[in-house]
Structure 1
């Protein structure tokens, strides 16, 4: 059965009963990866058909507690009780709120009453557990999902506007789901994928499965963008998001004696051959300079900044006490001598290399 067909059956059955459970809505949303806009549309359709949404009235039973225990029970010791079990038993003692009580508490929260905020949170913890359980199997244990859901519930209490006439549970559900989804999106990644990108990926995966079932082939990115209502750029961004990181220390090679990082060159590093070549050139220039007459060497040092800053002809003229024309002549002579000296130095270095070889 297609999703549209299943949704139609779901709505018809709920309309016949006149009531649908919050858990049923969350189950449908989870199984079909519905995004927030689609869940809002579903709730609007339920309201249009005058179908009441009910919260689970029962306390958490032993089956619910037992489901959570295997993931959290440490090495058992005499007289100790699993903390998650205690938590689940404890939250069942808080009574659910009536619509009038929700409004009254919301007003008190607006006035900054901490006790009112705590009561709203405690009375809706069963909703957190109900939603968190739908996200099990995605890499986060139930206890962590509940903690993230409570963070979302706390934000819902702070943001709830009782004047709009919505039930608090309807409003809080979005915040709790969002908190659980973001926790799942962030967990286990060395490189974090933004939550909105993860949510796009989830929706694109669902749309892709539907299109593939309809057409018998994998959809193109353009088809995904059109069906999901996204811009093509956002589809490319979501599908290209990093899903896993690879260590540069990962072993490679037949014998595993190399590392992945060895295969990548550093574009900013200096080539050792070029570095050695530059060093030899610098040494040759320094040796050639030392062979020049003192005045010519000094003119070149000042003119081209060897060992300091470059100086103007006027500054050199003033420092050496000679005319500007004399400075130019010394510079020309020094260049001619320097070229000859460099040939001698380079030739000697080449002979040394030949002898060493």
Structure 2
């Protein structure tokens, strides 16, 4: 989280005050977060259910609404920032669900993602052409990844749980050798004089994934599934974010080419159309030989590689 904290520190005084205001409104109360910390099960407790039920009713923003709010944010409108954060709380949950089995309580993961979302709202610049949700995805992931990384080195499974599971594994192995068959958890639990449910909770705390289709009871008595709190799967905001950043980097690299080189590369790889043109087809367009087009393409690729290495762009795509 250090980088994100530094970003917050780097804001102007008025922006810092806005950021604190956003934190007070959107970060999950510590009492609820610590309540989740006391259990090592990834099932939904009352605190999690209450939070998910709360954000379930929040309306998502259209692209036009994001731009409009972005303009207001640029003018220092704190209300607009709050609306951007509020409308994307479900985006945080959608991303946070992928980190459930990383030794952090689910609400704590959401908490870290919300902090990243708040920083994104503070730094959002609609003039760059990215949707806010696209921009925020990077900050949310950064915040969660940092927290997970730090926790993985500091948070330990309680010793008594480790000892119980170690003993369970040994006894189970011994029993299976004796009886030459699979032994049920209940049989091992009886041997250890420990309740079967307790053993199952310990095992689940380490490995049980949460299904997005799993249903649970809300505080108001109604039932819901985890998937109902996630953004429409057709939205694919993370893929969209990756594509937007990739397109941005490609355009930046292409800007370093000469006009003819840029045109040849665009036609050869179908950057502006759905089909790629052959060397012959491009040659006929310019009235030159196929070999001439090939030489232009090679020069362009060489220049693009140089730009990529110099600007640290698209390096993962270089051969």
Q: TM-score, normalised by structure 1?
A: 0.31
The structure with more radius of gyration? 1
| Higher RCO (C-alpha 8 Å, min separation 6) | 2
